[in-house]
Amino acid sequence: MSRFSDTNNTHVADEGFKPNGKDVEGHSSSDPAFTIHGEHPVIADRLARKLSARQVQMIAIGGTIGTGLFLGTGKSLATGGPGSMLIAYLIVGGTVLMTMMALGEMAAFVPIAGSFCTFAGRFVDDAFGFALTWNYWFNDAVSTAADLVALQLVFAYWDTAMPGWALSLIFWAVLILANIVTVRAYGEIEYWLCLLKVITITIFIILGIVSNAGGNQGLGYIGGKNWRVGDAPFVGGIGGFASVFVTAAFAYGGTESIAITAGETANPTKNIPRVVKNVFWRILIFYICSVLLIGLNVPYNTPGLSKRDSAVSPFTIIFQQVGARSAGSFINAVIVTSVISAGNHALFAGTRLLYSLAVDDHAPKVFAKLNRNKVPWVAVLSTSFLAGLCFGASFIGAGQLWTWLQNLVGVSNQIAWVSIGITSLRFRGAMKAQGKEHLLPFKNWTYPWGPWICVVLNIFIILVQGWSSFSPKFAAVDFVSYYIQLVVMLVMYVGWKLFKKTKIVSYANMDLESDVHTVSEEDLKLMEKEKTTAGKFKKVLNWIF
């Protein structure tokens, strides 16, 4: 159980933190989890802060641009049509905006690796944090597996003798190695992989416009023709429309995990708000523009799009419209690197969550072990192992398995967004009750209506998006993939609550002291450096790239 969420709602800061003795629960101050960080006790803030603002921004963009956009849009277009796909991505995108504003406010104030999962335990109920963190850790492990499975689908584009599963296993090993080295090396590798994706999507948007205007091979001017083909723009009725939400949630999923990097971000009170405000608009532009162009240029009834074992991406199709087959091979190669990058990001986030579970006494302490570079190596291996097990189930059929995994991850993402909204409302209530709102380095301008919309809208979407599993006939396996996460979350919450007899933390006793970031001398030097001409120029470059 979390040290600050026991049945008495003990608040260390209220009782007085004792650096030379014992805290109120009997922990020795020599415990590395109970050292002084400025004026605040440190519990989870023990990882090396080696990620720069440049790396964090690009990781946030590129880490969420992967299989959901490159492959998921094909299924969305086939099942819902271009109109349903565009509207669903707009609605989910707006929800993500409000979620990120709420999360950025909390992460800037308490920048730790556990992020919203740890916040749920501290600001709501320890049982809630326990259930959410395990749920989201499983989400990241499954996301890694989904990306490994997606590699098979993308690799099938080329007719080679090498089996897709062998390629996935090779890159599974590469991901493990990349996440055990220093976080600075991880950040730099991820930066360049993400930059490649961003450049590719930018080129795609330009070529998509060119192709639509008539600069293609034999199609002529396309315009809005594909919105009038067959049942377009809304295919499959309400069932088709509802089914697109889970794929949209899967595509946007991971945006919130940028806050998990807060535990390893330099000067987080300044960089996290900057990243939250800038990154979302870039992602929204990339996603909405891409989805719009896909719906305009690719008919929903294109052969292969609706097949779960399809190796065809709408991105590849559009590149082929304006060039030779080699252009398709190029974008397919980029998709391969994108899938690897997204899997790498998911493994990184899952590892930090498992580390946080151990720090909060929600998992065995062995998962909190750090190597000399302050990387939680046991958590890396354990998360990778679960991802490997999920990937091993690909004998079912890569396309079928990827669809199920996508459903699991999509719903898990939405559960996280609901939880962030609830936690944000509780956090701001406590900040006001304790008279600390003026200490917030970044304020959520959508509060209080933003978090409420996030909670209500996401609950509604979670409940209705499994419509396709009921119509035209009941599909038991699909039903399970849409709703099993809700049952697991509820069982874990109730089970831990009964076992530990936890209570909802009151505003007065809520822990708003631990792990609050204190600006260091190094942070101040970086801030002064940004005020110079060279610093301002670099700031502009960082915003662009």
Instruction: Encode 326-379 in three state secondary structure.
Output: HHHHHHHHHHHHHHHHHHHHHHHHHHHHHHHHHHCCCCCHHHHCCCCCCCCHHH
Over the Cα atoms of the chain, what is R_g? 23
Residue whose tokens read 């315009």: 223
Give Cα separations from 127 to 124, 490, 496, 504 (angstroms). Answer: 9, 10, 5, 9
Tens digit of pLDDT for each residue in 416-425? 999 999 999 9
Please tell me which residue, 240 or 183, carries the higher pLDDT value: 240
Q: What is the per-residue pLDDT across 116-130, written as a single tens digit (0 to 9) for each?
A: 888 999 999 999 999
For residue 64, is pLDDT > 70?
no
DSSP letter string, 39-58: TEEESS--S---B-HHHHHH
Residue showing tokens 């594909």 = 226
Q: How far apart are CA 535 and CA 515, in angstroms?
A: 29
**Which one of 101-110, 308-317, 320-329 scores highest in mean pLDDT?**
101-110
What is the three-state SS of 186-253? HHHHHHHHHHHHHHHHHHHHHHHHHHHCCCCCCCCCCCCHHHCCCCCCCCCHHHHHHHHHHHHHHHHC
Domain spans of the chain?
A: 53-508+516-539
CA-closest candidate to residue 105, choices 381, 398, 449, 428: 428
SS3 364: coil
Give the N- to C-terminal CA distance of the chain in Å, as an integer. 42
Question: With respect to CATH, is domain 53-508+516-539 assigned 3.30.70.1340?
Answer: no
Phi, psi angle pair for 377, to nearest 5°: -70, -35
> What is the percentage of the chain residues whose pLDDT exceeds 70?
79
Q: Is the pLDDT of residue 209 over 60?
A: yes
Q: Does position 465 have pLDDT exceeding 80, yes or no?
A: no
**DSSP character for 504?**
P
Position 141 confidence tier, pLDDT thresholds 50, 70, 90: confident
Percent of the chain with pLDDT over 90: 23
pLDDT computed for residue 309 by the predictor: 41
Q: What mean pLDDT do residues 377-406 have? A: 75
Residue 95 near residue 458 (C-beta atoms within 8 A): yes
pTM, entire model = 0.79
Q: State which amino acid sits at residue 379.
A: A
